[in-house]
């Protein structure tokens, strides 16, 4: 009789008397157990659990990195390229104080401690602003609405939020790898050994359960249990069954030992802190950018209104010039000049309207609003209304803080609280830690590997009948002397360069912050003076226009001087509007430069409740 080649993984059933018949329920139990384990680890609510875990980690890190704490002090010792200290390995973020000193409190009697209005959460998209009557103030698309809308819908913001999410997601995996990790596997092999008159069939079931735990200072502990069952399919008898339990440990003593073993975890912990700071910095810059775009849109709106007023005045001047010409008091040249200026004013009005429409579309793109959504000039606030709310303290960040005139105080606060500077200082610690890691790779490998295992008696077919007298111990000490370390030496030398680079980047950031703060302080001074000049200029233009109108009516001036006075009034109005909005932008830039900008979860500007009086 000729037999086909048999698989080495399957044992052919024999007539060995040790073979005992097993009920078919055992096979069903193994299959059901594997199926239950698979269903238990299903992914029905995996996404929700992951989101909750990531959100908790982000909230914890935001509290640690941005919550209330004493001010962070920095000195020259922080940038010293000394040997990495023990603290360089501790992935604990340094929080930033949310309490602003009195110098940064807006100049108002009672700065509000809460956001302007209640806005929907970030998970819900604000409804598109509907058309509203000009006198319906409740439906205005205010600066507050613009900031909240951008926070919920701006595409760049969503991308930044996803970057933060992905960074926290990577950290959840690394944290999980430092906990006991369990794995299971169920394998079934079927073999059919064909013969001329009969078939020899067998099935082999292997169930494996393992657990591993990384050790804090390098190495790993493992535990594994394997059970094997072989049954003859045709005769339903058990051919073989047994189990093995093995415990093992691997401990490095030189290379890979110590805090170096946790480098991936430390790096991801610190990177999440950096990303939290970067995200918060992005949110604050977004507030400034959106507010600036909103102010530009208001200036475009005010330009339309002023152009309408100018056109109406030119129309009155034209009618007067025609009346004077018919009465023989003015020459036709005055009438023609007035008509020319009237047509020019009409053309400027059309251009102003088109400029407003284009500015509105750019503003919609900036905040993530669909361009087809209606947002005409009736839906927007007026510069005068915002100015009144600022005076009343409703926009606390548009009020001038006393520290805006103290450059040294503003610079000291900025160098203690700028989030990008804190990250730059921490990057120096990362570079020093990289030196220690590179030094560790130059060491030889000296590892201890030890295992202990228990098996069932091969003479008895029992899955749990371990024979402890068959316990096996094995320990091995491995020494790998370094004969070739070219790549490691190069990495060590590069790590020293990285330390100097990190120090230079930190110093460069400090100098850039100095420039930002000095520029912000000087810009506020300039805008304060510019606002004062433009207010005086408008007062002069008003008196000039009033005098020119009276003189023209009395026949003492020609129409050219009246038209010049009207042009001067329009120019003064535009200059004043520009001065007001530019000053608000300068104040926001100052707060951004000094890291005194505060935003709630909906992107709303507010003054913290714990500001000292």
Question: Which range is most confident: 91-105, 116-130, 538-552, 594-608?
Answer: 538-552
Does the structure show a pLDDT above 60 at 128? no
Does the structure show a pLDDT above 50 at 278? yes
Please give the share of the chain, as a percent, with pLDDT higher than 90: 44
Q: How confident is the model at residue 585 (pLDDT cuts 50, 70, 90)?
A: very high
- Joined tokens for residue 60: 């914890």
- Looking at the DSSP bridge assignments, the partners of residue 397 are none
At 434-458, the pLDDT tens digits run: 999 999 999 999 999 999 998 887 7
Q: Higher pLDDT residue, 416 or 19?
A: 416
At 362-371, the pLDDT tens digits run: 999 999 999 8
Question: Which range is most confident: 235-239, 291-295, 399-403?
Answer: 291-295
The whole-angstrom separation of Cα 12 and Cα 7 is 9
Q: How confident is the model at residue 296 (pLDDT cuts 50, 70, 90)?
A: very high
The whole-angstrom separation of Cα 456 and Cα 464 is 7
At 303-312, the pLDDT tens digits run: 999 999 989 9
The whole-angstrom separation of Cα 162 and Cα 172 is 15
Q: How far is CA 220 from the centre of its chain?
A: 35
Per DSSP, the three-state class of 244 is: strand
Q: Higher pLDDT residue, 517 or 466?
A: 517
CB 608 within 8 A of CB 99: yes
At 159-192, the pLDDT tens digits run: 999 999 999 999 999 999 999 999 999 888 877 7
- Looking at the DSSP bridge assignments, the partners of residue 243 are 227
pLDDT of 27 reads 47
The whole-angstrom separation of Cα 418 and Cα 510 is 10
Does the structure show a pLDDT above 50 at 126? no
- Joined tokens for residue 172: 């959840």
Does the structure show a pLDDT above 90 at 610? no
Rounded to two decimals, the pTM is: 0.77
Domains annotated for the chain, with CATH where assigned, are 24-44+180-214+219-255+445-481 (no CATH), 94-172+266-393+405-433+491-594 (1.20.1600.10)
Q: How confident is the model at residue 3 (pLDDT cuts 50, 70, 90)?
A: very low
At 67-109, the pLDDT tens digits run: 743 332 323 333 333 334 333 344 445 555 556 666 666 655 3
- Joined tokens for residue 227: 């059970």
Mean pLDDT of the chain: 79
Does the structure show a pLDDT above 70 at 24? no
pLDDT of 246 reads 93
Does the structure show a pLDDT above 90 at 599? no
Does the structure show a pLDDT above 60 at 226? yes
| Cα end-to-end span (Å), the chain | 103
At 244-264, the pLDDT tens digits run: 899 999 999 999 999 999 999
């Amino acid at each position: 009789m000729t037999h086909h080649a048999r698989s080495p993984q399957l044992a052919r059933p024999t007539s060995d008397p040790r073979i005992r018949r097993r009920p078919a329920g055992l096979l069903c139990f193994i299959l059901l157990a594997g199926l239950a384990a698979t269903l238990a680890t299903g992914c029905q609510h995996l996404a929700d659990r992951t989101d909750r875990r990531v959100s908790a980690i982000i909230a914890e890190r935001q509290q640690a990195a941005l919550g209330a704490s004493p001010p962070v002090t920095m000195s020259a010792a922080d940038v010293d390229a000394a040997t990495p200290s023990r603290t360089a390995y501790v992935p604990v973020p340094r929080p930033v104080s949310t309490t602003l000193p009195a110098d940064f409190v807006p100049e108002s009697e009672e700065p509000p401690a809460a956001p302007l209005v209640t806005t929907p959460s970030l998970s819900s998209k604000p409804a598109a602003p509907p058309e509203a009557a000009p006198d319906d103030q409740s439906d205005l698309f205010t600066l507050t609405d613009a900031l909240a809308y951008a926070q919920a819908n701006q595409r760049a913001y969503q991308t930044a939020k996803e970057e933060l999410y992905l960074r926290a997601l990577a950290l959840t995996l690394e944290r999980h790898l430092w906990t006991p990790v369990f794995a299971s596997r169920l394998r079934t092999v079927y073999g059919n050994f064909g013969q001329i008159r009969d078939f020899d069939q067998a099935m082999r079931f292997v169930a494996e359960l393992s657990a591993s735990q990384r050790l804090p200072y390098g190495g790993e502990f493992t535990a594994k249990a394997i059970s094997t069952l072989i049954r003859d399919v045709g005769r339903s008898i058990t051919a073989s069954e047994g189990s093995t339990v093995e415990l093992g440990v691997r401990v490095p003593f030189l290379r890979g030992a110590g805090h170096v073993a946790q480098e991936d975890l430390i790096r991801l912990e610190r990177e999440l802190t950096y990303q939290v700071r970067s995200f918060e910095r992005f949110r604050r810059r977004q507030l400034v950018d959106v507010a600036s775009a909103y102010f530009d849109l208001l200036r475009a709106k005010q330009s339309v209104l002023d152009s309408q007023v100018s056109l109406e005045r030119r129309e009155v001047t034209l009618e007067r010039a025609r009346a004077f010409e018919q009465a023989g008091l003015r020459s036709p040249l005055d009438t023609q000049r007035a008509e020319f200026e009237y047509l020019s004013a009409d053309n400027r009005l059309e251009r102003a309207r088109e400029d407003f429409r284009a500015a509105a579309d750019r503003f919609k793109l900036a905040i993530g609003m669909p361009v087809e959504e209606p947002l005409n000039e009736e839906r927007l606030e007026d510069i005068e209304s915002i100015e009144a709310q600022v005076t009343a303290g409703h926009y606390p960040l548009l009020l001038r803080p006393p520290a805006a005139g103290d450059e040294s105080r503003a610079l000291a606060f900025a160098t203690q609280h700028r989030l990008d500077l804190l990250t730059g200082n921490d990057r120096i610690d990362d570079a020093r830690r990289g030196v220690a890691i590179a030094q560790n790779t130059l060491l030889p490998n000296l590892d201890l590997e030890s295992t202990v295992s228990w098996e069932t008696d091969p003479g008895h077919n029992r899955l749990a009948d371990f024979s402890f007298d068959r316990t096996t111990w094995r320990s091995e000490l491995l020494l790998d002397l370094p004969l070739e370390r070219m790549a490691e030496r190069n990495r060590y030398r590069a790590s020293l360069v990285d330390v100097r680079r990190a120090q230079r980047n930190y110093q460069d950031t400090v100098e850039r912050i100095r420039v930002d703060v000095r520029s912000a302080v000087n810009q506020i001074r300039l805008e304060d003076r510019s606002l004062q000049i433009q207010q005086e200029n408008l007062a002069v233009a008003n008196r000039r226009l009033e005098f020119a109108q009276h003189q023209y009516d009395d026949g003492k001036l020609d129409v050219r001087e009246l038209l010049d006075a009207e042009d001067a009034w329009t120019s003064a109005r535009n200059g004043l509007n520009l001065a007001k909005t530019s000053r608000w932008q300068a104040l926001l830039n100052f707060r951004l430069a000094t890291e005194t900008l505060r935003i709630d979860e909906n992107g709303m500007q507010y003054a913290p409740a714990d500001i000292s009086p």
